[in-house]
Amino acid sequence: QLQLQESGPGLVKPSETLSLTCKVSGGSITSNDHFWGWIRQPPGKGLECIGSLYHSGSAYYNPSLKSRVVLSLDTSRDQFSLKLNSVTAADTAVYFCARITWDGLDVWGQGTTVTVSS
Amino acid sequence: EIVMTQSPDTLSVSPGERATLSCRASQSVNSNLAWYQQKPGQAPRLLIYGASTRATGVPARFSASGSGTEFTLTISSLQSEDFAVYSCQQYNNWPLFTFGPGTKVNI
């Protein structure tokens, strides 16, 4: 059974870089049928797509975050990563990783809370 | 960017009653629309894809319809475990996507 698990610091200082990793287990990140994505949810708000990634390395970014985001993957470790730079309090959120199929996001990580504060 | 809106913000329903939730897209997304259920402290769960197809394991009391810009999710007889937030998501510009703000279904 495919499982995803996010990891990374829960507290990041303003203007610094938020870095998270999603470990894929029970399956391979090199599947030809799937993309891998990051989604976030600010407290009390809706879900926001950050971007998505294919095992070839092709990445697609939310235009509103594109200038600050880099997605990457490590196929040898079956994991993919998010880096968001120049963070502010507005980046405080629960960050989820998920598997993206042709018909929606069918497997999600449990989410990790990231707070931006000095 | 395609903007998704949902109504109502909150829906108060008694167990056993029917709930009807709406989702609207700012431009046509064809049938590239999914619905998710999210309970407090949990990740979203895919309920519906392709505007009307139930995901694996989703009970038949959940049904959905629509295409283009107008979509509906119906829960025919609410069970206690159905009280949650429901979000729609368009994936017409896959592999990017946008979500609606969600509808909270309250007891």
Mean pLDDT of the region A22-35: 92
> Residue B94: what pLDDT?
87
Number of cross-chain residue pairs from A and B with Cβ atoms under 8 Å apart: 61
Write down the pLDDT at residue A57: 85
Q: What is the pLDDT of residue A31?
A: 87
Nearest CA in chain B to A53: B95
Q: Give the residue carrying structure tokens 């970014």.
A: A61
Tell me the pLDDT tens digit for each residue of B53-68: 999 999 999 999 999 9
The minimal CB distance from A105 to the residues B1, B46, B100 is found for B46
Cβ neighbours of residue B50 closer than 8 Å, sequence gap 6 or more:
A103, B31, B32, B33, B34
Nearest CA in chain B to A109: B43
* E strand or H helix at B20: strand B19-25
Q: Which residues of chain B have pLDDT under 70?
A: none
The label of the residue with tokens 């996001």 reads A105
Residue-wise pLDDT for A90-104, tens only, equals 999 999 999 999 989
Question: In a mutagenesis test of the B interface, which of A47, A52, A53 is the best target, namely the one with the most B β-carbons within 10 Å?
Answer: A47
Give tens-digit pLDDT for A15-24: 999 999 999 9
Distance between CA atoms of A93 and A14, rounded to whole angstroms?
14
